[in-house]
Structure 1
């Protein structure tokens, strides 16, 4: 008999910030049970799919009991009896049940939890690893780990304006060696910070969050740590940045205030000029959200000036949504899009966003969220989509390391078939 869905259930669990999120369970007719847990972001774009929160006083209004109810009472009855192998169809059914443009009625957290659980259950029923089920036999490329080793902005309580400073082991021969490169750099940075009397506590994504004297000082410390670990900046390990410019642009359009470092107010043009100085001075190969989500003209100007030198990634401006990504492609707004599963709300839609990027000659950069769980779905998804790089935090905090460790497992499974390269 064909395998079908018996039921979907859900419960409220806690994410890495101690806030509620959704875990979905799926039971198939063969008796197997699979589960998936949904991450949550702090730095979010205005057009992201909507997390459904309960409001009120419970958990400070962040409870997800409504989303749990929607899985049980609205989604499960419609999907019961259907084949778990029809991922795109089931995802579309949930979108139709919700009936809104932003998944705000059922909640993107409810829908994504079901979507991820369905994919995992189907892979298990096929006796395949998730990356193979989603990506087919061509899924052999391990992503370059863009490790966030310094946190700032809204992910830390410090004097750094930009949200993420990443070490990127683009010169490593394999994923496991690349992970070693940046993990050793992480530990070298910790020793360096200690020697300078700076704090070695970590931010939401596991990177260090000291009070540097300037934003530039954060980059220079990372470069020193790379060298201390025995690697060559720009050859073995390069730098990636995530400005998360929404966080210091109140109108989200063109007026910026580097408030945490004290650098002060800047126009879009001045911020681009500053970026140019850094790109010339430091081995930067990737820059995410250098401008705010409504600053389409600024993004375009940045890409026209630097897009032939570095990867310019749109996150809040595109929100893993093919409509916004297509607008970006048409207007040369960037040359890469961040891909976040919970930003769009289904596995199928995230995969479609990757395909759109690839067909346009863009790159797709997979990402976790600042509020994560111990679910390693992202690791398999990144391999399945063959996008070549991802960010999933630093070399600390278990909810980050579980993704890296899953990628090590996949590399071991692939053995000699495993591929690893930056471009």
Structure 2
């Protein structure tokens, strides 16, 4: 029997490994018949949209409080591997579709999106290795060169911290840097200035799930004020060198008839009152981006929000859109949002992730690439950011190794690109109208 040409899958297996919370997750490992290989670990979210692809868990209370992933691992080893071994690894779209067909559900609930995505990412890495290309170039082509503005989540609240803040992420955006390396330096200097400021004020410097500080404060506004002080203490100008981005994660605030800030004033606000609140914050603070400022079911509220604020700020749909091309098309048709958060594990394959990016680009929507709160040392999204040229991404704060691993990979990519590298800052971080 003649030997298969190179780039065919010779082995595929999966393991149960751990994420940054110490919860199980899936790692897939692919080897090709020329010895090239790739492996990938999928992340897991805490604040999740109801339309996300299904993360398969074992629900066995005797293991990891029911959060084990042995079913997903077995689905790779027993079902996906026999279907893929012998196939060409660089036929990404066909293999991703084959896995989706093998699953047979719209939500990937049969095999698990965590199983399918782990294999999809590992295949991409193995194919890139076979073609002797870095991952960002294999995915993005020879012109992939744009380094993203990092949005550092310096104060955590909501589902990401055990404190009294309703807003889930308070982020700094060092957009006026001349390079990614300089942006990281500016961000880290501000992060450490904030730590000193909190400590000097007698406030806690413990951290939340994504590496941001998680102090008990008097209000959500106090978090913003402290960050602005930290920017100045680090020697930068709020709104000129470093601006702000917020993720209210409003779906987590949804209550009968509106939204409730249950951690602070406990007030129930209508969608219109929430819009008024964000408008007042935009008037008062240098905010460039609002992610999920309204809930995932509140499409009418989002329409009003977009009409009123899209010219002033980037309005990002996360739970609303779930990296799903069908949901994004609905938003485009209804004039909702002007940017989509990109999280590969929300949709479940590399191909569908790239399809969502392509649809956003065709219609002038921004793409804001993201990690998950339960992440790992895997740096796939760092390469993906450069491949798609998204211009900005969030991958945590200024500490925790699973967060800075992505920063370090982007620093390596910038160094490798040398004079070909461009940074998406220097005043180019701007809102796209819907």
Shorter-chain TM-score range? over 0.9
1:71 to 76, 83, 91: 76
SS in 2 for 1:172: coil
Residue among 204, 207, 229 paired with 1:202: 207
Matches within 5 A, 1:50-89: 50-57=54-61, 58-89=63-94
Q: State yes or no: 1:113 paired with 2:125.
A: no
Residues 250-399 of structure 1 mapped to structure 2, 5 A cutoff: 250=255, 254-399=257-402
**RMSD value, Cα:** 0.8
1:407 aligns with 2:410: yes
Partner Cα separation in structure 2 for residue 117 and residue 210 of structure 1? 38
| Contact 1:163–1:243 (Cα < 8 Å) also in 2 | yes
Does residue 222 of structure 2 align to residue 221 of structure 1? Answer: no
Alpha carbons 1:159, 1:260 under 8 Å: kept: yes
Q: d(CA) in 2 for partners of 1:215 and 1:17?
A: 25
State which of 40, 48, 65 in structure 2 corresponds to 1:44.
48
Q: Give the TM-score of the pair, scaled to structure 1.
A: 0.98
> Out of 123, 138, 146, which is 1:141 matched to?
146
Residue 73 of structure 1 and its aligned partner are, at CA, apart by 0.8
Give secondary structure in 1 for the equivalent of 2:141.
helix
Unaligned runs of 5+ in 2: none
Question: For 1:15, which of 8, 12, 19 is the aligned residue?
Answer: 19
Partners of 1:118 and 1:3 in 2: CA distance: 10
Residue aligning to 2:37: 33
Q: Aligned to 2:238, what secondary structure does the other structure show?
A: coil
- Offset at residue 137 of structure 1 (A): 1.0
Q: Is the Cα contact below 8 Å between 1:7 and 1:77 reproduced in 2?
A: no
Kindly indicate whether the alpha-carbon contact (under 8 Å) linking 1:165 and 1:240 is maintained by their aligned counterparts in 2.
yes
Q: Which secondary structure state, in structure 2, belongs to the residue aligned with residue 137 of structure 1?
A: coil
For residues 250 and 19 of structure 1, what CA distance do their matches in structure 2 show? 29
Q: Is the 2:38–2:124 Cα contact (8 Å) retained in structure 1? A: no
Residue 3 of structure 1 and its aligned partner are, at CA, apart by 2.1
Partners of 1:83 and 1:177 in 2: CA distance: 40
Aligned length: 421
CA shift for structure 1 position 263:
4.2
Distance 1:260 1:125 in 2: 51
CA distance in 2, matches of 1:261, 1:20: 33
Aligned equivalent of 2:164: 159
| Stretches of structure 1 lacking an aligned partner (at least 5 in a row) | none
Are the counterparts in 2 of residues 242 and 290 from structure 1 also a CA contact under 8 Å?
yes
Is it true that 1:211 corresponds to 2:216 in the alignment? yes
1:300 CA displacement = 1.4
